[in-house]
Amino acid sequence: MAIEQKKTLSKEIVTQAVIDSFKKLNPVVMIKNPVMFIVEIGTLITLILSIAPDALGPSTVSRGYNIAVFLILLFTVLFANFAEALAEGRGKAQADTLRKTKSDTMAKLVQKDGSIKEVSSTQLRKGDIVRVDTGELIPSDGEIIEGLASVDESAITGESAPVIKEAGGDFSSVTGGTRVVSDYIIVKVTTDPGESFLDRMISLVEGAARQKTPNEIALTTLLAVLTLIFLFVIVTIVPLANYLHIKLDIATLIALLVCLIPTTIGGLLSAIGIAGMNRVTQFNVLAMSGKAVEAAGDIDTMILDKTGTITFGNRMAAEFIPVEGVSQKDITLAALQSSVKDETPEGRSVVELADKLGVTWPENEYAAAEIIEFTAESRMSGLNLSNGTQIRKGAVDAIKAFATANNGSIPNDLEEKANRIAKAGGTPLAVSINNRIYGLIYLKDTVKPGLKERFAELRAMGIKTVMCTGDNPLTAATIAQEAGVDEFIAEAKPEDKIEAIKREQAQGKLVAMTGDGTNDAPALAQADVGLAMNSGTMAAKEAANMIDLDSDPTKLLSVIAIGKQLLITRGSLTTFSVANDIAKYFAIIPALFIVALPQLQALNIMRLASPQSAILSALIFNAIIIPLLIPVAMKGAKYKAMDANRLLRRNLLVYGLGGVVVPFIGIKVIDMIIAGLM
């Protein structure tokens, strides 16, 4: 792993969390959490009563009782702060690890006249051109515009094996702080100082850029409303108690309020959100916001780009197949001629295969040729020679249309041979010179292992998988069947991916998209969850709201599981917190009024020793349950792939019923201890 995974309770993190727990007592910080802010106000009032029991009116309880209530409330607030600080501490520890990677390195800035000038990496600006040689650190994020090199990305991804980065294609982006281990590259800087990928990672991991998600805001609002309601309840209890000639001290009323408001989830809510983002980070996924993590938990449809995502993406020329009337040497030469200026991995593989077959083409014959770049619209590339010869290679239907437009004929066996390649799972590229089609280039691609099983898991979770590819329908169908996706879109242009996402979203579904190429960027931006591969282009990473540092498309399954786990954890602990109030109600209310209303004895099912011991027992349980639930908040509630109804039943049974039973047992045990001491 790139990001060091420290234990939740490591000495350094716990020590700092304890210190931060006291720092967070600042009312400016506490007011962001309405529930715990009310508890802090109660703590301050009981502190005053501990010093001067009659400061706010005549008191019928001892100073010791006020001090006990004060200390319990103080620990309640500190435990809540500790949970949040612990979650933040893990993020800061991860950020410190990343910060070690970031250093002020020297860069070889390429001047306009071609000379090299050494400058500090902090002086580099977007658009600058730098050269990075073997053994040197890449000084800033950028795109390779020339060269091919092995790059050690272990500082970012944790993977020890270097990766090949090269100009052109979808593997041209490089990250500042990584190291070139062979050859050299010329890099165009794409970020200004302080805006690099590593800078954003550090900021997001340590929580500086974390914002509350809509669900978190909604739950915070609900908790604030519940707190306000219980505040009114406590206020109305005072005249009722006076009518029954029962004296309720301020400390008792504060204790009653704290026990009835949902302090458990109020104290753990922020920690749950922070820990959720930390868990994603520990899977080597950088989430740009907590909203993206939550959205992953509600995903209905996942749209996957084929090349580089479902397949390895390095389609290599495996064979040159001539059509009727064309010799093997002629198709090999035609394929070579169409690819000599093609700097993509596929283009270079064609040149390499032709060279192995002993076919060459003198450079002076194409030195002045016009290069025709591949576009998503034309779906072909090639050369226009100075003598007027037009050499093209590309999708079979595009080359057929090109030849027909130039009054050429279509070979009778072209379609049959293209279909044979497609059925084998390969990609056929047709080659033509002027209006004559010479044959096909057989490009092979390989589905990444283990995908079929992972997609089956997604299906069990009710998530549909759709593969998008520019390949023809036969090739797409073969790859789709091998990978185990539910649907596929063949011959897809960038706008087709966006339309597919919009179509699903129009049905009220949340859509996740993975991709790595520049042409994936619009779709990644449109998707509710866009996961870009770190090996992909900078455009894809900028458009996405998550980046997979390992460039593993199956990682989205883990992200979805974490998202669901985050939602389940928050819901489970909310259920537990509200269920707690039922037990605390039966503990405190009968104890308060049983003297004036003996009929309430029937509700005193816990048979607590006295009103004071009942209140202190409920208050102590209320305080200690927060640290006991910190591991659940940090690690998340246990999640298994199952349908929503079964999941709901299981969590209601565990956290709903458990939230009622556990406090009854806990409060009774604490009461027995307190009664013995008193």
Residues of each annotated binding site:
342, 346, 374-381, 393, 516, 520
* Residue with the larger pLDDT of the pair 596 and 345: 345
CATH number at residue 177: 2.70.150.10
Q: Are residues 540 and 454 in the same domain?
A: yes
CA angle (550 as vertex; 177, 428 as ends), nearest 5:
115
CA angle (478 as vertex; 472, 482 as ends), nearest 5:
140
> Which pLDDT score, from 0 to 100, does residue 40 have?
93
Whole-angstrom distance, CA of residue 339 vs CA of residue 441? 11
The answer to whether residue 630 is domain-embedded is: no
Say which DSSP state 121 is in: G
8 A C-beta contact, residue 299 and residue 467 = no
Q: Are residues 430 and 536 in the same domain?
A: no
Of 478, 550, 553, 486, residue with least CA distance to 515? 553
How many separate domains does the chain show? 4
Whole-angstrom distance, CA of residue 472 vs CA of residue 595? 83
Of 274, 270, 262, residue with least CA distance to 39? 262
> Which pLDDT score, from 0 to 100, does residue 97 have?
58
Q: Which of 129-143, 405-419, 639-653 has the lowest mean pLDDT?
A: 639-653
Q: Are residues 368 and 496 in the same domain?
A: no
Residue 436's DSSP bridge partners are 433
Q: What is the DSSP string of 209-235?
A: T----HHHHHHHHHHHHHHHHHHHHHH
Q: Are residues 168 and 260 in the same domain?
A: no
- Residue ending a domain, choose from 539, 559, 579: 559
Whole-angstrom distance, CA of residue 644 vs CA of residue 231? 35
Task: Map tokens 């399954």 to a residue.
Answer: 557
Q: Are residues 136 and 218 in the same domain?
A: no
The answer to whether residue 519 is domain-embedded is: yes
Q: How confident is the model at residue 575 (pLDDT cuts 50, 70, 90)?
A: confident
Q: How confident is the model at residue 579 (pLDDT cuts 50, 70, 90)?
A: confident
Whole-angstrom distance, CA of residue 441 vs CA of residue 394? 9
Structural domain including 146 reads: 125-192
Q: Are residues 352 and 494 in the same domain?
A: no
The answer to whether residue 601 is domain-embedded is: no
The answer to whether residue 621 is domain-embedded is: no
Q: Are residues 431 and 335 in the same domain?
A: yes
The answer to whether residue 649 is domain-embedded is: no
- Residue ending a domain, choose from 192, 207, 227: 192
Query: Residue 476, CB half-sphere, CA atoms under 13 Å: how many?
Result: 18
Q: Are residues 97 and 221 in the same domain?
A: yes
For residue 171, what are its two tokens?
């593997």
Segment 270-275 shows an average pLDDT of 78
The answer to whether residue 585 is domain-embedded is: no
For residue 358, what are its two tokens?
């002993």
Say which DSSP state 601 is in: G
Residue 8 scores a pLDDT above 50: no
* Cβ atoms within 10 Å, residue 383: 22
User: Which stretch of DSSP H or E encloses residue 75?
Assistant: helix 63-101
Phi-psi category of residue 624: left, alpha or beta, with phi > 0 → left and psi -120 to 50 → alpha: alpha
> Which pLDDT score, from 0 to 100, does residue 95 have?
60
8 A C-beta contact, residue 223 and residue 35 = yes
Q: Are residues 132 and 28 in the same domain?
A: no
Segment 409-438 shows an average pLDDT of 89
Percent of the chain with pLDDT over 90: 19
Q: Give the tens place of pLDDT for each residue, 454-466.
A: 888 788 778 899 9
- Residue ending a domain, choose from 411, 435, 459: 435
Pairing of strands 301-305, 464-468: parallel
Segment 375-382 shows an average pLDDT of 84
Backbone angles phi, psi at 13, to 5 degrees: -70, -45
Residue 179's DSSP bridge partners are 137, 152
Residues of each annotated binding site for ATP:
342, 346, 374-381, 393
The answer to whether residue 636 is domain-embedded is: no
8 A C-beta contact, residue 337 and residue 433 = yes
For residue 317, what are its two tokens?
């020329």
Residue 1 scores a pLDDT above 50: no
* Cβ atoms within 10 Å, residue 668: 17
The answer to whether residue 666 is domain-embedded is: no
Q: Are residues 141 and 188 in the same domain?
A: yes
> Which pLDDT score, from 0 to 100, does residue 521 have?
81
CATH number at residue 458: 3.40.50.1000
Q: Are residues 356 and 398 in the same domain?
A: yes
* Residue with the larger pLDDT of the pair 214 and 389: 389
Residues of each annotated binding site for Mg(2+):
516, 520
Of 564, 559, 563, 538, residue with least CA distance to 548? 559
Q: Which of 111-115, 415-419, 580-584 has the lowest mean pLDDT?
A: 580-584
Segment 93-122 shows an average pLDDT of 75
Q: Give the tens place of pLDDT for each residue, 149-177.
A: 888 776 565 554 577 888 876 577 888 87
Whole-angstrom distance, CA of residue 583 vs CA of residue 614? 12
Indicate which residues carry an active-site annotation: 305
Of 465, 473, 476, 472, residue with least CA distance to 500? 465
8 A C-beta contact, residue 264 and residue 573 = yes
Q: Are residues 98 and 229 in the same domain?
A: yes
> Which pLDDT score, from 0 to 100, does residue 643 have?
64
Q: Give the tens place of pLDDT for each residue, 11-34.
A: 777 888 889 899 999 998 898 888
